[in-house]
Amino acid sequence: MNFQISASRGLPAIVLTTGLLLSGETFAAGFAINDVSMTGVGRAFAGAGVVGDDYSAIAFNPAGITLKGTGAQAGAVLIWEHGQVKGSAKKAGVPGGKAYGKDDISIPVGAPNMFAQYKLNDDFTFGVGIYAPLGLATKYKDNWFGSDYGVTSFLEAIDIAPTLGYKMNEHWSFGLSAIARWGHVKMTNTSAGTGYSDFDIDGWNVYGRVGVMYEHDENTRIGLSYSSVSTEVEHTLKDSHTFFGMPGPMAVLNGEWTGGTEVRLPEMWLLSGYHKHGDFGYSAAVRYTRWEYFNDFTLTSSSPLGYHTSKYNWHNTWSVSLGVDWFYNDTWTFRAGLGYDESPVRHSELRTVRIPDNDRVLMSLGFTYKINDHVKMDVGYSHLYLPTFKARNGYSKTRLAGVTQGRGDVDVKYDFNAEVIGIQFQYDL
């Protein structure tokens, strides 16, 4: 994953938070997006990949593409974080060296998705998915009281996932996806009163997903999928960044410097089940994400700063969800779901203002309207409730400056939730 870094207008941010880079498959916690299916949004992603009512199995369990024939779908989702942050943070140039305040949070982010597949024969189905698994953001006002630690943290990522599904017999199906991911991260802050920092990072990565599905009969099935770490366990992001505008003895930091880091993407297991009885379909899902690789993050540099280390110590997470579909008639289907999503952040001491993440509860509703024999419209809505929580911005240090950030530097409380709403259209050939 060869990311390019460019920085301008002041001392680049000492804290380069990679949670935004790494939050790959965690069912929204860590600010990832799994809202690539509007039928899935409507049932809180219970049964993801094995329900078979749209073409999004590519993004969850590739074995599930054998449930549908030739067709395609396209859609988009809007995610709106809203609420309030209040507290204090160390800040250069203010009396006492600490700023206090209260600010509103309102961050709308949109993400599109497209899936298509072709049934090659009775045994094999080939599909391609283009979707946004990452795309949330944290954005504060430029002059908010914690601006030295982050103003904007923006992430967008696109997965391109060619997929092959194999139906071995009436009971067993298998699937494989080889996925190329393009990511773009932008981060800004006010650089301790010396200027304004702007990191712009983009690059490619690859990983894989495999899945198996067992169908007891046409109304009952269960599936298991595994999303790997990237094909190269360690990655380096490098090119150059610029330090300038530093006065006096610190002028030695001015100039062009190379930099890099090594990270590991998490792996994820997903177990999903579905059963239809009469006019109702019941679904469930359990996810396990191994965030244990993400402990320390070190950014190296050829500048006199030498290195910067941040501690996160993220832990492995579980997510569970239950859903129900009501097949009202041949035209309308209604659905609902409830889910619980665990955050990888252990406690407030390690939570940062760039990733103000916490456990959440999902409450979802949705419907499908069959327009004609070939076209369907799916709408999904989910409310994400996050209990009030605190962030103290973790711990970090550089070679020259020693500990530059840690306990007491930031002490803020978050009270915010999120809304997810989306629409998609399916075409069945």
Q: How many CB atoms lie within 10 A of CB 275?
A: 16
How many angstroms separate the CA atoms of 138 and 106, rounded? 9
300: closest CA among 213, 187, 203, 398?
398
Residue from 69, 139, 144 nearest 107 by CA: 139
Question: What pLDDT score was predicted for residue 8?
Answer: 32
395-398, strands of its sheet edge to edge: 259-261, 296-301, 307-311, 395-398, 402-405
Give residues with Cβ within 8 angstroms of 341, minimum separation 6.
26, 27, 28, 29, 317, 319, 359, 360, 361, 362
Residue 43 near residue 76 (C-beta atoms within 8 A): no
8 A C-beta contact, residue 167 and residue 123: yes
CATH no. of 4-40+52-267+293-315+388-428: 2.40.160.60
pLDDT at 210: 98
Distance, in Å, from the CA atom of 28 to the CA atom of 317, rounded to the nearest integer, reads: 11
What is the model's pLDDT at position 242? Answer: 44
Asked if residue 194 lies in contact with residue 10, where contact means CB atoms within 8 angstroms, the answer is yes
Exposure of 410 by Cβ count < 10 A (0-12 exposed, 13-18 middle, 19+ buried)? buried
Q: What's residue 288's pLDDT?
A: 94
pLDDT in tens, 1-23: 333 333 333 333 333 333 333 33
Phi, psi of 249 (to 5 degrees): -60, -25
Which residue numbers in the chain have pLDDT < 70? 1-33, 134-136, 185-203, 230-265, 293-312, 394-408
**List of residues 6+ apart from 97 with CB closer than 8 A:** 90, 91
Task: Tell me how far apart the alpha carbons of residues 307 and 14 are, in angstroms, rounded to a whole number.
Answer: 10
Closest CA to 210 of 179, 174, 255, 240: 174
Distance, CA of 407 to CA of 392 (rounded, Å)? 6
The domain spans of the chain are 4-40+52-267+293-315+388-428
**pTM of structure:** 0.84
Transcribe 89-157 into DSSP letters: EE-TTSGGGEEEEEEEEEEEEEEEEEEEEEE-SSSEEEEEEEEEEE--EEE--TT-TTGGG-SEEEEEE
d(C-alpha 391, C-alpha 105), whole Å: 15
Q: Which residues pair with 130 in a beta bridge?
A: 114, 160
Q: Phi, psi at residue 91, to the nearest 5°?
A: -150, 130
Selection from 293, 250, 214, 239 nearest residue 26 by Cα: 293
Q: Which tokens belong to 229? A: 């770490």
Which of 267, 283, 353 is CA-nearest to residue 321? Answer: 283
Contact predicate 245/11, CB 8 Å: yes
Give yes or no for a contact between 414 and 85, defined as CB atoms under 8 angstroms apart.
Answer: yes
| Predicted confidence (pLDDT) per residue in 144-165, tens digit | 888 877 787 777 778 999 999 9
Distance CA 390, CA 352 (A): 9
Question: Residue 50: its pLDDT value, please?
Answer: 98
pLDDT at 192: 54
pLDDT for 1: 33
Q: What angle do CA 197, 198, 201 make, to 5 degrees?
A: 140
Task: Say how many residues make up the chain.
Answer: 429
